[in-house]
Amino acid sequence: AQKITQTQPGMFVQEKEAVTLDCTYDTSDQSYGLFWYKQPSSGEMIFLIYQGSYDEQNATEGRYSLNFQKARKSANLVISASQLGDSAMYFCAMRGPSGGYQKVTFGTGTKLQVIP
C-alpha cells in the first residue's frame, strides 16, 4: 500500500526566505509519481509540481522545486523567496502502479505561514 507522511503540521517562514516542506513516502513500486498541491484559505486545490520516479533531474517550476531523494524516499518541496501569498496548506501526493495509477494518496498537509 502507498503511504505519504508529512511530519510538519505547521511552519513559519520570513518573507523572501526559502522554506522546505518535508514529504516522505512508502511504496514497493519502482514506477510512481509524486505531486505537490497548494490549498489557500479560499479552499481550491492548485497543482504546483510533479516528479516521476524515473526522472533523473529534480523538478522545478518557477520558485518551486522538488528535492527528490529516491533512496531515502523523500520528495521535499522547496519554495524560494517566500511571498505573503504563499501562506496556505501544502499537500504531498502520490500515484503508483500497486494502487493503480488511478489511485491517488495524499499526505495530511503542512500549513505554511509567511511572516512579513
Residue 35 touching other proteins (CB under 8 A): yes
* Contact pick of 62, 85, 100, 116 for other proteins (by CB under 8 A): 100
| The one segment of 14-22, 67-75, 80-88, 94-102 that binds other proteins by CB under 8 A | 94-102
- In DSSP notation, 14-72 reads ETTS-EEE--EEE-S-SS-EEEEEEE-TT---EEEEEEETT-SSPPEETTEEEEEETTT
Considering only residues 44 to 83 of the shown chain, the ones binding other proteins according to CB under 8 A are 44-47, 50, 52
Q: Does 101 interact with other proteins (rule: CB under 8 A)?
A: yes
